[in-house]
Chain A
Amino acid sequence: MRSPLNWALLGLVIQRPSYGYELVQRFERTYADAIELSSPSQIYTALDALQRRSLVEELCGEDAPAVVRQPKPHYRATAEGVHGYQEWLIAHLGDERRRSRLFACQLAALTPPVALAVIERYEQACLLQARGTPLAGAGEHPPDSASELAARLVGEQDRLAMGARLQWIAYARRELRAATHDRAPRR
């Protein structure tokens, strides 16, 4: 299963059993900036896919919440789903590295002066993004919900990643300047 949407949805079901419409709402709240839903039906399609792979199952009998009006199938993660989700999280560590490698290779394909201009713009974008990252408020009070904890973890990850990116930019700029100097026509 490759769809990031399916795995993201599985994460929500692991967090707590839920039914389709509630999952649509939780998905939009949780992943607003990361994965865009083109239609709520994507959630139902993803639930089918997860169920076919035995990663989630419908709650039944005493486990199911009391039905008020019409039955809403509630889903919970299976042990296989929880295990698969953890494996997927670890396996995806390589994604960021692949993206970074691709960017560096594409940059290196440009002439040093053009690459330097790209680096300038990239740095501006990074600085803007860095200042827009909210303070976590860590230490003031512990997170009072799973969504606040997630927001803090995401925020800190973004901030630390930005530090690494800015350091890389400083390094790349020096390399590109040296390359520009070396390739300058000599008289």
Chain B
Amino acid sequence: MTLLQLERVGRRHRQDGHERVVLRDVTLELDAGELAVVWGLRRSGRSTLLRVAAGIEAPDTGAVRFAGRDLAGGGALGGGIGYCRRGRGGMEGRDVLDELLLAQLARGTPQPVARSRAFSALERAGAEQCAARTARELDTAETVRAAIARALVLEPSLLVLDEPTAGVDLLARDGILSLLRALADEGAAVLIATGEATALSGADRALSLTEGELRGSCAPELATVLPLRRRASA
């Protein structure tokens, strides 16, 4: 089932009186259970693509649909979409557990349920040890795992991650990629943007974004299914 659909999406950014085309006619479909990775250089439009896909930023042209619902209005994150931005992802002063609780309480989840979900999400993301620490006290890999846990507490069907392996120690990197692979195998649609080609490994679809143009297998039926795909246990 197509969960996310971008249809001929265009986006321009204006800065200091100049206008730059960031996304050009981008078309992309993503099914539940799929892991798609978009590789691009800096200023290729990769972060904008993710923000548009997550419904955070509205496109200038084209359509964005999530589970059949139009997201092109932009604004708040669409329900069912978890978004992990680069770096600490807005987690600063509070400890990680509080971050996970706040994300749920703001949506009216009762505290005992929120607490239980928070610990489950931390465990699923391999970030149990981070619960009582603030984002400043985490290393890069732990920060990414904590951010994934924060997204998971809302039980998203689509996870969108901006550069989840940037700055992550080489030996910790594949653990994060294995986790994202496993989340897709469990049924989530996962969309990643990255500047590191190493993050393309194990993806169902590898795409490239250059000067706002998306290339690769943009629809699931065009993707070659990987035989004997490694199923990660992380």
Residues of A within 8 A of B (CB): 120, 123-124, 127-128, 130-140, 155-156, 159-160, 162-163, 165-167, 169-170, 173-174
Residue of B nearest to A127 (CB): B206
Q: Which of B207-234 contact A (CB under 8 A)?
A: 207-208, 210-211, 215-216, 224, 226, 230, 232, 234
Asked if residues B41 and A138 are in contact (CB atoms below 8 Å), the reply is: no
> With contacts A140-B234, A159-B201, A163-B197 known, is A130 near B174, CB below 8 A?
no
A159 to B39, CA, bound (A): 13
A184 to B188, CA, bound (A): 47
Asked if residues B216 and A134 are in contact (CB atoms below 8 Å), the reply is: no
> With contacts A131-B202, A159-B198 known, is A123 near B174, CB below 8 A?
no
> With contacts A135-B177, A139-B175, A140-B234 known, is A123 near B208, CB below 8 A?
yes
Asked if residues B206 and A128 are in contact (CB atoms below 8 Å), the reply is: yes
A120 contact from B39, B201, B204, B215, Cβ within 8 A = B215
In this complex, the member of B41, B178, B200, B211 whose beta carbon has the largest number of chain A beta carbons within 10 angstroms is: B200
Residue of A nearest to B175 (CB): A139
Residue of A nearest to B169 (CB): A139
A160 to B202, CA, bound (A): 15
> With contacts A132-B226, A137-B174, A140-B175 known, is A127 near B201, CB below 8 A?
no
Q: How far is the CB of A8 from chain B (nearest CB, A)?
A: 25
Cβ of B171 < 8 Å from any Cβ of A?
Answer: yes
Residues of the A chain whose Cβ atoms lie less than 8 Å from the Cβ of B196: 163
In this complex, how many residues of chain B approach chain A with their Cβ under 8 Å: the count is 35
In this complex, the member of B177, B202, B206, B211 whose beta carbon has the largest number of chain A beta carbons within 10 angstroms is: B206
Residues of the A chain whose Cβ atoms lie less than 8 Å from the Cβ of B203: 131
Cβ of B145 < 8 Å from any Cβ of A?
Answer: no
A147 to B65, CA, bound (A): 46
Asked if residues B170 and A134 are in contact (CB atoms below 8 Å), the reply is: no
Asked if residues A135 and B174 are in contact (CB atoms below 8 Å), the reply is: yes
> With contacts A135-B181, A135-B230, A173-B210 known, is A130 near B200, CB below 8 A?
yes
> With contacts A139-B175, A163-B197 known, is A127 near B210, CB below 8 A?
no
In this complex, the member of A128, A135, A137 whose beta carbon has the largest number of chain B beta carbons within 10 angstroms is: A135
Cβ of B172 < 8 Å from any Cβ of A?
Answer: yes
Residues of the A chain whose Cβ atoms lie less than 8 Å from the Cβ of B201: 130-131, 133-135, 155, 159
Listed from nearest, the 9 A-B pairs whose CB atoms lie closest are A163-B197, A139-B171, A130-B200, A131-B206, A127-B206, A159-B198, A131-B203, A162-B197, A133-B201
Residue of A nearest to B233 (CB): A140
Residues of B within 8 A of A (CB): 37, 39, 41, 44, 169-175, 177-178, 181, 196-198, 200-208, 210-211, 215-216, 224, 226, 230, 232, 234
Residues of the A chain whose Cβ atoms lie less than 8 Å from the Cβ of B205: 131
Residue of B nearest to A162 (CB): B197
Asked if residues B178 and A135 are in contact (CB atoms below 8 Å), the reply is: yes
Asked if residues A140 and B174 are in contact (CB atoms below 8 Å), the reply is: yes
A141 to B197, CA, bound (A): 23
Residues of the A chain whose Cβ atoms lie less than 8 Å from the Cβ of B178: 135, 137, 140
A173 to B215, CA, bound (A): 13
In this complex, the member of B37, B201, B211, B226 whose beta carbon has the largest number of chain A beta carbons within 10 angstroms is: B201
Asked if residues B41 and A170 are in contact (CB atoms below 8 Å), the reply is: yes
> With contacts A130-B197, A162-B197, A170-B210 known, is A138 near B171, CB below 8 A?
yes
